[in-house]
Amino acid sequence: MSHGSPGYLSFDEKMYRFDDATWDLDGGELFLDASCSKCEISLVGIPFQGAKNPEDLPGKIWAPSEEDFSPGDDIFAEGGLTIRGERYEVMSIRVECRSYNRESGILKVAIRMTVENEDYGDSGEAEVFLACEAT
């Protein structure tokens, strides 16, 4: 990718660098995907009402309260976080759109999540930074 690193995931004192990261915006919903050989993240339909184009995204934050958040939501049911083949359930999340470069089409997004391993119950904080290309 000509714009540099597509981002990283920091979890459990390990850092994973993504090979690719993409974004799409459809009807005020943001779709994010990033992957490398050891992990992948996919968030499907993050609600950013009023965002009709990518220029509307910088400064927007989605941080649902406990009442508004359900790990079973489509955002996670159709996507989620997988590390070394283990699936993690998102227990809480904060997504912040930091910047958009019209010339390159790069959207920069910061994500903080509390996650729990679906099989073993291990949990922790995950930090993600993405520099995504448009799909």
pLDDT more than 70, % of the chain? 92
Query: Which of 112, 23, 32, 9 has its CA nearest to residue 64?
Result: 112
pLDDT of the residue at 74:
57
Note if the pTM is more than 0.85: yes
- Residue 73 in tokens: 């939501």
Contact 95, 61 (CB under 8 A): yes
Contact 14, 25 (CB under 8 A): no
Q: Sign of torsion, CA 75 116 133 65?
A: positive
pLDDT at residue 84 is higher than 70: yes
pLDDT digits (tens, 9 = 90+) for 20-54: 999 999 999 999 999 999 999 999 889 998 899 99
More confident residue, 87 or 9: 9
Encode 107-129 in three state secondary structure.
Answer: EEEEEEEEEEECCCCCEEEEEEE
